[in-house]
Amino acid sequence: MDGLEESLVVMRESFGRGKTRSAAWRKLQLNGILNLVGENEEMIFEALNEDLGKHPVEAYRDEVGVVKKSALHALESLDRWMAPKKAYIPLIFRPAKARVVPEPLGLVLIISSWNFPFSLSMDPLIGAIAAGNTAVVKPSESAPATSSLLAKLIPLYLDPEAIRVIEGGTDVSTRLLEKKWDKIFFTGSSRVGRIVMSAAAKHLTPVTLELGGKSPAIVDDLSNSDLEVAIKRIVSGKWGSCYGQVCLAVDYILVEERLAPLLIDRLKARLRKFYGSNSQDLKDISRVVNKHHFTRLCNLLKDPAVASSVVFGGSLDEDRLFIEPTILLNPPLDAEIMTEEIFGPLLPIVTLGNVQDSIEFINSRPKPLVLYAFTKDDSFKEQIVAQTSSGCVTFNDTCIQFVCEAIPFGGVGESGQGRYHGKYSFDAFSHEKGVLHRTFYLELEPRHPPLSDFKLKFLRLLYAFDYWGLVLLFLGLK
């Protein structure tokens, strides 16, 4: 943190000179990100494996590939995103013309999370760069290898006067949050999100908070073939991405009681096919990130009523920080495992009398980041969309919405605020400035003193009927 003040001064001066505003500078940096990823892919894989035990396929699918795709999309779209948009002018304001001009916010702070330590640092940075900002990236100290690699590589590929990495723990984050920023983008827990928002409020700094939430998956009555596809996608979405330590992961399943035995049998079978039958030597799977999170997850299972609901897995190995993929059936709804985000390889299943009851169940709890539903019933889909609130809804799959830049990604309520990905990332780091041009003729005198009842009548007509109110007035309605 030595030299923090000097770094911020340099970056603010760089922004003040207009260096980051040109499309050429933005494209140069986006190409720099593509080169960084392309030339250092193996080093990134190694860092992600060291921090989280990620297989190269998982690392590419969830991190490296995401960043490449995001940077390419921004490059291809940047000219269109930067172009002013013509605004419609109501007749009451004519003769005039107007446009909406996107402008960068300034110096922004990006605080990323440890579960996707590469993509959650670089993906928001792509949006910040595309929008023309200078940016400080604070990677998570819980993924030290990736944090160190970012600190090493970013100055080699990106403009050091405008983009910097600052490493460190909670003390560093605290110092950074004391500074004045033009935008803060935070990914992490709701607890820390409240701290970030409180610090930002001191300077009236706008924030985007990408938090968590207990994301449910509704499983409707499906044919055997459809259920098999659903099971694959649920297992991958729960255990196949950072071992469930993901805000997007399926947190719990809602299913009709009569369908639960079949669902559990299929989940068990798929887990064995994907990762093997030997719980001491599972293949192609990440690990719990550290001792703190291992202990937290173990504590979720300590309640005897919760432990007795385990129907699969549950074995623990403290030396390896390993928790076997675990399925629970109807744990107590007031237990911590059902009130707090799990963020790990534990999957509760809650049974209902009727799948329609899932809507009421979800609405009785804080708004989730994602609502998953596996169903072919179109009317039920419409009910879910219309009668529930969540950051997003995905039907018949898990997690893929995160890499679809065509739709916004973000939470609502306790699961976050703000949105990003694709054009939404550009918007997250931009201010849309309205620009209005008027001429010096056709002056409406009733807007000026001296005021009178006639002028009041004129304005009432004008506001109520726009141009036609003016026409009526001149036709003799006084």
pLDDT of residue 477: 47
Instruction: Tell me: do 60 and 177 sit in the same domain.
Output: yes
Q: CA 222, CA 395: separation in Å to the nearest integer?
A: 13
pLDDT of residue 478: 39
As for how many domains the chain has, the answer is 3
> Token pair of 258, please?
């009569």
Q: In which element (H, E) is residue 16 found?
A: helix 4-16
Q: CA 138, CA 105: separation in Å to the nearest integer?
A: 18
Cβ pair 364, 371 in contact under 8 A: no
346 pairs with which residues across the strands? 326
Instruction: Tell me: do 329 and 230 sit in the same domain.
Output: yes
464-474 exposure pattern, b = at least 16 Cβ within 10 A, e = fewer: eeeeebbeebe
Q: Does the structure show a pLDDT above 60 at 189?
A: yes
Q: Taking residues 145-172, report their average pLDDT.
A: 97
Within a domain: 438: no
Nearest residue to 341 via CA among 370, 318, 312, 317: 370
Instruction: Tell me: do 142 and 273 sit in the same domain.
Output: no
Q: Taking residues 436-452, report their average pLDDT.
A: 88
Within a domain: 188: yes
Instruction: Tell me: do 287 and 189 sit in the same domain.
Output: no
Within a domain: 31: yes
Percent of the chain with pLDDT over 70: 96
Residue 87 burial (CB count, 10 A): 12
Q: How far is CA 160 from CA 112, 126, 139, in A?
A: 19, 15, 17
Question: Which pLDDT band holds residue 123 (cuts at 50, 70, 90)?
Answer: very high
Q: CA 147, CA 165: separation in Å to the nearest integer?
A: 9
Within a domain: 269: yes
Burial environment of residue 132 by CB neighbours within 10 A (0 to 12, 13 to 18, 19 or more): buried
Q: Taking residues 223-228, report their average pLDDT.
A: 96
Residues labelled catalytic: 210, 247
pLDDT tens-digit map of 399-416? 999 989 999 999 999 999
Q: What CATH number does residue 273 fall under?
A: 3.40.309.10
Worst-scoring range by mean pLDDT, 73-77, 85-89, 291-295, 465-469? 465-469
Q: What CATH number does residue 175 fall under?
A: 3.40.605.10
Instruction: Tell me: do 16 and 78 sit in the same domain.
Output: yes
Q: Does the structure show a pLDDT above 80 at 144?
A: yes
Instruction: Tell me: do 165 and 286 sit in the same domain.
Output: no
> Token pair of 259, please?
């369908």
pLDDT tens-digit map of 357-387? 999 999 999 999 999 999 999 999 999 999 9
Instruction: Tell me: do 39 and 54 sit in the same domain.
Output: yes
pTM for this model (two decimals): 0.93
pLDDT tens-digit map of 320-352? 888 999 999 999 999 999 999 999 999 999 999
Q: Does the structure show a pLDDT above 80 at 1?
A: no
Within a domain: 378: yes
Domain that holds residue 463: 443-475
Instruction: Tell me: do 82 and 48 sit in the same domain.
Output: yes
Instruction: Tell me: do 205 and 241 sit in the same domain.
Output: no
Q: Does the structure show a pLDDT above 80 at 250?
A: yes
pLDDT tens-digit map of 264-300? 999 999 999 999 887 777 888 888 899 999 999 999 9
Q: Are strands 207-210 and 183-187 parallel, antiparallel or unpaired?
A: parallel
Worst-scoring range by mean pLDDT, 107-116, 132-141, 269-278? 269-278
Instruction: Tell me: do 25 and 174 sit in the same domain.
Output: yes
Instruction: Tell me: do 56 and 179 sit in the same domain.
Output: yes
Instruction: Tell me: do 238 and 200 sit in the same domain.
Output: no
pLDDT of residue 310: 97
Within a domain: 236: yes
Within a domain: 437: no
pLDDT of residue 466: 61
pLDDT of residue 469: 53
Q: In which element (H, E) is residue 170 found?
A: helix 170-178
Cβ pair 332, 302 in contact under 8 A: no
Cis peptide before 366 (omega within 30 of 0): no
Within a domain: 414: no
16-34 exposure pattern, b = at least 16 Cβ within 10 A, e = fewer: eeeebbeeebbbebbebbe
pLDDT of residue 2: 66
Cβ pair 12, 107 in contact under 8 A: yes
- HSE toward the beta carbon, residue 328, CA cutoff 13 A: 26
